[in-house]
Amino acid sequence: MDTAMTPAPFVAFQTDHLATLAGIGAVAGGMIALARSRRWPRLVRALEITLAALLILSWPAEWLSAIHVNHVTWEEILPLHLCDLASFTGAAALVWHHRFAAELTYFWAMAGTLNGLITPTVKYAFPHPSFLAFFLLHGTVVTTAVYLVAGRGFWPRPGAVRRTFFASLAYLAGITAINAALNTNFAFIRRKPENASLLDLLGEWPWYVVALIPLGLFFFSVLYAPFWLARRLATPMKEPEK
């Protein structure tokens, strides 16, 4: 292949990466401010539907980018990474204001997808289709999670950590069986991503997979803590009985 036609490799924290992160932050901040203003409810609703559509379209965008580089595998065809599931729960939360879907999106996005934005598993720089597809998925998922909580006020309810943790365990069990059947690496539980990630700090396989279970519970608890504390502070203390 002519070197002039070879796509530039992606390098983390270069201009295209930082500009994309800034753009995602600006979109999330703008939607939150608009929703909290309560001035244009129809515009807010239209933006929610648009964001939900982008979440759903992120799946075909992934496999179209795979077709572009002639590297179509089960992992591009099937939307079974946890970030893919978060895109579907996020769309459900935006369209139907489903509270459990909003909780799953918040915890999965902030504990997992956000790490993908910071340490992307993408090979080529902007404007390669794989770059665009990757950040479309991860950016819309994180934007949705932040928006639902800060813009719509869909705080995780009491028991949200427990519900999300058991849903995550069910996902882990199911995706383990699918990986074994299809020889895939959904959720990176058979091998780590090629790019550097937080998984590198957890040891080798299978220990990093085992460590993800208590670590996930810890992250969910940390993410829930501000809402638990806010509710505690908002509840007036009862006067002790004499």
pLDDT of residue 52: 98
Structural domain total, the chain: 1
pLDDT, tens digit, for every residue of 197-208?
778 788 888 899
What is the chain's Cα-based Rg? 19
Q: Is residue 194 part of a domain?
A: yes
- Mean pLDDT score, 232-240: 64
Domain membership flag for residue 242: no
Residue 240 confidence (pLDDT) above 50: no
pLDDT tens column, 119-158? 898 989 999 999 999 999 999 999 999 999 999 999 999 9
pTM of the full structure? 0.91
Owning domain of residue 65: 3-234
Among 9-23, 57-71, 101-115, 136-150, the minimum mean pLDDT is found in: 57-71
Q: What average pLDDT does the structure give for the chain?
A: 91
Q: Is residue 241 part of a domain?
A: no
State residue 73's pLDDT score. 87
